[in-house]
Amino acid sequence: MLDRTDGRPLHQQVAESLRQEIVGHDLPPGSTLPSEAELCARFGVGRSVVRQAVAGLAADGLVIRRQGRPTVVAAPTEYRRLVQRATGLFDQFARRGHDIRTTVVGLTKAAPPAPAKASLGTSSCLKLERVRLLDAEPLSYVRTWLPASRVPGLHADDLVDASLHRLLSHRYGLRPVSGQRQVRAVAADERLATALEVEVGTPLLLLEGETADQHGRPLEWFSAWHRADRVVFDIDVSETAETLTLDTPRESTETVETPGTPASRPEPRDLARARELVEELRTLLG
């Protein structure tokens, strides 16, 4: 039963209880989560509370939900990351009970490449390079460009086994809240292969983009190479005008334009990018 005097919402208490069982292997990887009815009876709550709790576990990558199938506990070797969130890898995985370590490869003043310079609006930057390890296993290599004027006094030691985003928020009052991301498949060069303990040429998932703070000002430009055999990028998809249009029966495939009516739209960019990523992975793995 739950503690009704606890100030936390009931669904958070249910999720935390199940999270502890998953992390402690009381619910081992691949096992089926108890049914909604069983969880309702166990915690003394309604179905809406249970559904919120399970949705939170799924968002954190601890369980896998598939329509028409039971919810199962995710395998620990598969780390799931929501790429549309502004929060970094450290903050997304810390709440799941993983042992997170960060090795700082270097923090130096350097001129950024053209994309980073254009995004940050300055050539006076700090280049931060780190290796992120989860459960003692190298998971990603991250290169981050920061405007030097926005992070005075930043030292490499500040970021050992620490979250950059948390430090930016707590020390400098800069909260990462928005930005654009892109994902593509790349092959590991010698430096990345050494850092991530893989063979040269191994497929990696490169997450790259920019982040702005709560005032809309440029805060960072980053490139993060992830081991494709360990990381899964989750992307939330919702119904849009384009999908509604695709579901509507048409009498003709011809497009007729009338004044004030836009021409037929191309394939949604996210879907097109996903197709490109799949093809790149097939090429690398083939």
Picking from 22, 19, 39, the residue whose alpha carbon sits closest to that of residue 31 is 22
Query: Which pair of tokens denotes residue 167?
Result: 């430090």
- Tens of pLDDT, residues 178-192: 888 888 999 999 999
Domains along the chain? Answer: 10-73 (1.10.10.10), 79-234 (3.40.1410.10)
Please choose, from the candidates 156, 137, 138, the residue with its C-alpha nearest in 3D space to the C-alpha of residue 146: 156
pLDDT band for 141, please (50, 70, 90 cuts): very high
Given a cut of 80, is residue 224 above it in pLDDT?
yes
Residue of 186, 42, 161 lying closest to 101 (CA atoms): 161
Q: Which tens digits make up the pLDDT trace of 51-108? A: 999 998 988 778 998 888 899 998 765 555 555 454 555 555 555 556 788 999 999 9
Contact 225, 245 (CB under 8 A): no
Contact 20, 12 (CB under 8 A): no
